[in-house]
Amino acid sequence: MSQKVVSFHYQLTDPQGEMIDSSEGHEPLTFLVGVGQIIPGLEKHILTMAMGDKAGEVKEGMQFQAKGELAGRPLTVIKVTQTHATLDANHPLAGIDLSFNVEITEIREASAQELQHGHAHGPGGHDH
């Protein structure tokens, strides 16, 4: 069975365009498809994309996982308008409209070691 590893860059901004989190200047976020390493709604949307695609469309029910100060906090899109998205996270940022812009940087076959470990390895892999 073929399983993919996907790497992507992202930007998370509030309605005023202020950056909340970004992978800019860092390695892309890399995950093994189908093992729950990223929020399911984001993974589902990313799987509709090809290498080089960029996506800014956010839909109700999509979920994202915050990084930086809010690391690990799940954010659920509960309302989307033409220009805004409302997220519910039971957190001080709940109700603030956020937008993701995504650029896929790599799609490749998962290595046997990644499948065995149940997670994606970054550039050059790693040993346990």
Residue 127 lies in a domain: no
Which DSSP letter does residue 121 get? -
Beta-strand relationship, 54-55 and 29-32? unpaired
Question: 80 or 109: which carries more pLDDT confidence?
Answer: 109
pTM listed for this prediction: 0.46
Domain count, the chain: 1
What per-residue confidence (pLDDT) applies to 49? Answer: 87
Residue 31 lies in a domain: yes
Residue 126 lies in a domain: no
Residue 11 lies in a domain: yes
Residue 64 belongs to domain spanning: 4-117
| Dihedral (CA of 101, 109, 62, 94) sign | negative
Residue 108 lies in a domain: yes
Q: Which two tokens stand for residue 94?
A: 């709940």
Residue 122 lies in a domain: no
CATH number of domain containing 13: 3.10.50.40
pLDDT digits 0-9 by tens, 30-62 = 999 988 888 777 788 888 888 888 876 677 777
pLDDT digits 0-9 by tens, 69-96 = 667 777 778 887 766 777 676 655 657 7
